[in-house]
Amino acid sequence: MSTLPGIVVTGASGRMGQMLIKLITESDRMHLVSAIERTGHDWVGRDVGAAMGGNDLGVVVTDDALEAIAKAQVVIDFTAPAATIAFAELCAQARAVHVIGTTGMTEDDIAKLAPAARHAVIVRAGNMSLGVNLLTQLTKKVAAALDEDFDIEVIEAHHHHKVDAPSGTALMLGEAAAEGRGVSLKGTMDSGRDGITGARKRGDIGFSAIRGGDIVGEHDVMFAAAGERIVLRHMATDRAVFGRGALKAALWGLSQQPGEYDMLDVLGMND
């Protein structure tokens, strides 16, 4: 029996699920104890390695989340908001670290995680790459240094399968810009331009979303004033950067007290 931390991956058949399983099985610091899919999915009951088109890994895909999480130390979760909230309750019961990369969560969804965080470590981030979290900090600092003569626009691009917009990363960058300016993103966000919208409102933080092809993830934060622009950019060319960040968060979370954390905590970059 392995003494390494046991990891459960939810949404095993998804792009991130398969990437995470690959990274975990290649790691010498953790091991895969279970892979979860929704009831009725054709992977349920199959060895996850074979389902991914490779060799058996000795882990059968299950739809019984309660049983799977009960034997884990960490759950890594890139699924959907409703599923993530349900998994959080099970992680709290098992005292398992819950690493959440799920995007599209509303403020109400996030608030529903609070009871679970009283009993378990939750690490949640709109993006788990080192570069994006550095970009977040830079965005906050630049926004704090510039006044409202500079319009702020967050421009993001993703593959055509992505279902939410703006992306979780774009919202994270928008929050950083708002924090730098000392304002609320909710009160300054402009993401619904269509038709004759009128002139841009001074101080608004704008969002533009591009969807196409197999773009992994590109984010620009543009500060535009009369006669000059400052553009901060991050481009992800390999989905593995998000997976490696999630695994880093998983190992970090094992030594923390129950509570809600983000990747800036994991990377030691919070103020």
CB crowding 124-134: b at 16 or more within 10 Å, else e: bbbbbbbebbe
Tokens found for residue 50:
């074979």
Q: Pick the catalytic residue: 31, 41, 119, 162?
A: 162
Question: 162 catalytic, yes or no?
Answer: yes
Q: Is 186 a catalytic residue?
A: no
Nearest alpha-carbon partner for 256 in 117, 132, 134, 125: 117
Report which of 97, 108, 174, 153 is spatially closest to residue 88, judged by C-alpha positions: 97
> Could you tell me where the DSSP H helices lie in the chain?
15-26, 48-51, 65-70, 81-94, 107-111, 114-117, 130-145, 168-181, 185-188, 240-253, 263-266
Is residue 203 within 8 Å of 148, Cβ to Cβ? yes
* Annotated catalytic residue within 98, 112, 140, 158: 158
From residue 181, give the alpha-carbon distance in Å to each of 22, 125, 172, 207, 244: 41, 21, 14, 17, 31
Pair 162, 102: CB distance under 8 Å: no
Other C-beta atoms within 10 Å of 3: how many? 6
Contact 113, 122 (CB under 8 A): yes
Instruction: Report d(CA 174, CA 169) in Å as an integer.
Output: 9
Catalytic residues, which ones? Answer: 158, 162
